[in-house]
Structure 1
Amino acid sequence: MIKGILFDLDGVLLSTDQFHFQAWKALADRLAIPFDRRQGDRCRGISRMESLDIVLENSTRTYTPEEKLQFAEEKNHAYRAFLQGLTPADVPEETVRVLTQLRIRGYRLALASGSKNAELILEKTGLCSLLDGVVDGRDITRSKPDPEVFCKAAQALGLSPRDCVGVDDASAGVQSIRAAGALAAAIGPAAQAGEGDWNLKSLSQLLERCPGMEAVLCR
């Protein structure tokens, strides 16, 4: 029986994809490296350093580990500057409605994000008030598709992953959910590819799949 729902952040509860792309593009332009939207899409759901490798793949030279760390920090500084302008108005009304209704129905909700900027996003948007637990990039040592983030998010709710459904929009995230032993609800690109146990066209479809706890107990 599903008791908890574990959400990825970016691309699920709200979208800052444009900020990521702009920050990586600014770095690529400074280094005179071609970088397009297709490459930007490949950066979704993976770690910052893995994303950097994608940005640098068309470079005509190689970089030292120290240079790569500097580039990653440069990108993150630019991205966080964009995030400073976030407000609660940037959270889709659908997200607020769905999270509120799920809490009313008795589900416990947690964030399961690999982003180390999740705290800033939650603070600026007010999303933290709709969540019972938060696990982000500062709490894990292994990025998706490793199951660590979803295992810890379930633990933050006092639940087993097998009592939870995870929601993610990236292939790596769906793999992470499954590896944790939770039911995988895919949305966005992962859903379009049919990668989830549930493939959702919108976040609202969670409400069709997750009835009130009283209804579940009476089955």
Structure 2
Amino acid sequence: MLEHMKGAIFDLDGVIVDTAKYHFLAWRLLAEELGFVFTEEHNERLKGVSRTRSLDILLEIGGMEFSEAEKLAMADKKNRLYVEYISGLNESALLPGVKEYLNSLRARGVAIALGSASKNAAFILDKLNIAGLFDAVVDGNKVTLAKPDPEVFQTACKELGLQPGECVVFEDAEAGVAAGKAAGMLVVGIGKPEVLKEADLVVAGLHEL
């Protein structure tokens, strides 16, 4: 399936770089300030979903309710904490095989896009020194619907000027795999086969490819 693709669309967190730990630290700090404990197990529910939905889940866990204005302020605060954590990122934070695989795709003439819910995607790609390897970057600033909605991958496909059947999605989250399938694309799962059951192929990381 990978030999014939014309476009490759990558999720960011867990595929290109592991920023999940920084998201977790920021959410945990916010929860502490609100007076409840937010665990790594809780954090699993936040993977692959938007910041606003993540905050809703966090508040559900804490059994708390706030106005929309208060929630907006909290989401902004969480993002500031997260940006502080990731501001020290550099190329060494890339997951194994990422740069090599992206370069091999470019050498084959495969178009490359990012499809991520992150609103900090461009900043992160810049920090990792790989922004120049992407033909399109579709992030939380360009789309409004969170995965498993296929909007992010459909938009990336359009920006590459390709049809869904010509693109392969690379995802580490169940919601992302579902979004890729809903967009009519083949999906490579990055992680555990028992978790990413709906993916067409599952590998431990891009280094395997």
Global fold match (TM > 0.5): yes
The Cα RMSD (Å) is 1.5
Tell me how far 1:201 sits from its aligned partner.
2.2
Offset, 1:138:
0.7
Instruction: Give the match's secondary structure for 2:109.
Output: coil
Note if contact 1:4-1:108 (Cα within 8 Å) is conserved in structure 2: yes
Do structure 1's residue 179 and structure 2's residue 185 form an aligned pair? Answer: no
Contact preservation (8 Å) 1:12, 1:169: yes
Whether contact under 8 Å (1:171, 1:190) holds in the other structure is no
The normalised TM-score by structure 2 is 0.93
Q: In the alignment, which residue of structure 2 is the partner of 1:65?
A: 68
Q: Does 1:158 align with 2:161?
A: yes
Tell me the distance in 1 between the aligned counterparts of 2:6 and 2:63: 51
1:76 Cα deviation from its structure 2 partner: 0.5
Residues 109, 132 of structure 1: 8 Å contact kept:
yes
Q: Please state how far the C-alpha of 1:179 moved relative to its aligned partner.
A: 1.0
State the match for 1:213 in structure 2: none
1:86 aligns with 2:89: yes
d(CA) in 2 for partners of 1:52, 1:14: 22
1:125 match:
128
Q: 2:141 aligns with which of 138, 158, 180?
A: 138
TM superposition score normalised by structure 1:
0.89
Q: How much has 1:149 moved relative to structure 2? A: 0.7
How far apart, in 1, do the equivalents of 2:94 and 2:158 lie? 26
The correspondence for 1:188, drawn from 188, 191, 197, is: 191
Moved over 3 A (4+): 189-193
Q: CA deviation at 1:193?
A: 3.7
- Which secondary structure state, in structure 2, belongs to the residue aligned with residue 167 of structure 1? strand
Q: Residue deviations 1:24-70, cap 9 Å, x none?
A: 00000001112100111211100111111221123344211111111
| Secondary structure class of the residue paired with 1:10 | coil
Amino acid at match of 1:59: G
Within 5 Å, give how 1:1-219 maps onto structure 2. 1-189=4-192, 192-205=195-208, 207=209
1:166 is paired with a residue whose SS is strand
Distance 1:156 1:58 in 2: 38
Is the partner of 1:204 in helix, strand or coil? helix
Percent of pairs identical after alignment?
42
The runs of 5 or more residues in structure 2 that have no matched partner are none
Secondary structure at 2:149's aligned position in 1?
A: coil
Tell me if the contact between 1:170 and 1:190 (Cα under 8 Å) persists in the aligned partners. Answer: no
The number of aligned residues is 206
CA distance in 2 between counterparts of 1:13 and 1:101 reads: 15
Shift of 1:190: 6.6
Code of the aligned partner of 1:195: E
Compute the displacement of 1:82 (Å): 1.0
- Once the two structures are TM-superposed, the CA of residue 133 in structure 1 deviates from its matched residue by 1.4
